[in-house]
Amino acid sequence: MSSPKLWRGQTLRDRSLDRREQMLDVGEELLGTGGAAAVTTRAVMRQTNLSPRYFYETFDTREDLVLAVYDRVETRLFERMREVDTGAGLRAAIREIFEICARYFEEDPGRARILLREPLADDTLRKHSADRAPAFLRLLIPVLGAEAGAVVPDGDEELALGAAALGGSLVSLYLEWTDGRLPVGRDRLADAAVAVVFAVLGAVREQG
């Protein structure tokens, strides 16, 4: 079996993956600063200095790139959440998750725009975000361990209701904070977010 052909030390697959990462990096910058409308094929090609041919070898449409950027930013946030220490109890673990979110958005406000603001304005991201919301709650199950059942709804219907109710409350809370209209510290923000989680999910579980 012959070895893959190399060009400047890279295989065709390596170069394709590198181009994809370049486009995702530029797409993230455009989406985080100018919103979904700023993510055009022309803008991406201009900033990556790549041919349009390479764009369409990687993404079918610019909407596919927008969704891929969203998923990458979300996945990196989820990866941080997996490091939560559950030894201090359920409420402390959930609070740590919200502190992680706050730090993540503080490091780069564009991340808040991508994950929170743009899904309110862009139809493609709105549907995608809504479809992904239950996944956030499911993520809490392995993170929180045995205590997860005390807060995360069991059934799919209750999970969807909880995700929808929480999404609206928490997105509003964090956007007000990242925009500077809610002048509280990160600790106070996390406390408020935890209170919202227990209030909303507790109500959903009682209805179920």
Average pLDDT, stretch 173-199? Answer: 94
Nearest one of 162, 159, 190 to 174, comparing CA atoms: 190
Largest CA distance in the chain: 63
- The structural domains of the chain, ordered by start, are 12-63 (1.10.10), 68-207 (1.10.357)
Residue 81, SS3 per DSSP: helix
Which of 154 and 183 is assigned the larger pLDDT?
183
User: What's the token pair of residue 192?
Assistant: 């408020």
Which of 86 and 84 is assigned the larger pLDDT?
84
Predicted TM-score of the model (pTM): 0.87
| Mean pLDDT, all residues of the chain | 87
- Give the model confidence (pLDDT) of 29-47 as tens digits: 999 999 999 999 999 999 9
Q: State the alpha helices, DSSP H only, in the chain.
A: 12-34, 41-48, 52-58, 62-81, 90-107, 109-112, 118-121, 123-144, 156-178, 186-207
